[in-house]
Amino acid sequence: MSEPQTAPSGLRPSKRYIATHDPVTGRSTYASAPDYVYAEFPGFGCVTRSYATSSLPARLQDDEDIKAFESNDTVSSHTRARDFAMPASANKNGISTTQGVNLNVLDVIPGAVGHWHRTVSMDISICVMGELDHELESGGKVRLYPGDHIIQRATLHRWSNSSKEQPARLIAAILPCEDFHVGGKPVQEAHFAFGEGKPQ
């Protein structure tokens, strides 16, 4: 399938290539990939899911992971651009199993300020275009330039683009983590509205 010439942010869309195996010859080859599906956040930018798996380790047998990604109705579907962390799934005994991995491409328009949020996950977020500020609710802030990255360990944070002229792009691999406590309290997912002040 063809990729659009521009993302909703105006940036050239990133290219996604999926390398796999020919089931007959066993030789390496490139698989087809579905078009990007973008979720737009007015006044901030857009996000698309570049790839996802519903489990770790990933299930590569018979391209199970690719088939799930290409479908429209699985947790790892390419259509679920608004889902950041992969949900846990339960086995037949009702015990939660390992979550999967989500690879997102986030485009931030010039001057945009994101919302405060936390996912209970470990994210590896890499700035690949422009400049992005990563801010913690404690007041800490760092600026990322292309190639800089954050190891985001389930902290409450937000993203912003300090440039008034250039959009920016971030690629984030969102990995599962075990439940954990800080100060005797469980760390929980949290999302605040765009424009809402700093959480106390």
Name the residue ranges covered by the structural domains of the chain: 29-89+99-178+186-191
Is domain 29-89+99-178+186-191 in CATH 3.40.50.1820, yes or no?
no
Alpha carbons 111 and 43: distance in angstroms, whole number: 9
Alpha carbons 187 and 32: distance in angstroms, whole number: 39
Residues 151-160: pLDDT tens digits? 999 999 999 9
Q: In this structure, how many other beta carbons lie within 10 angstroms of the beta carbon of residue 58?
A: 15
DSSP letter assigned to residue 71: S
Enumerate the β-bridge partners of residue 133.
Answer: 143, 160
Enumerate the β-bridge partners of residue 160.
Answer: 113, 133
Stated pTM of the model: 0.86
Structure tokens at 37: 């599906």
Place of tokens 């439940």: 179
Alpha carbons 129 and 11: distance in angstroms, whole number: 9
Residues 36-91: pLDDT tens digits? 999 999 999 999 999 999 988 999 999 999 999 999 988 889 998 888 766 555 44
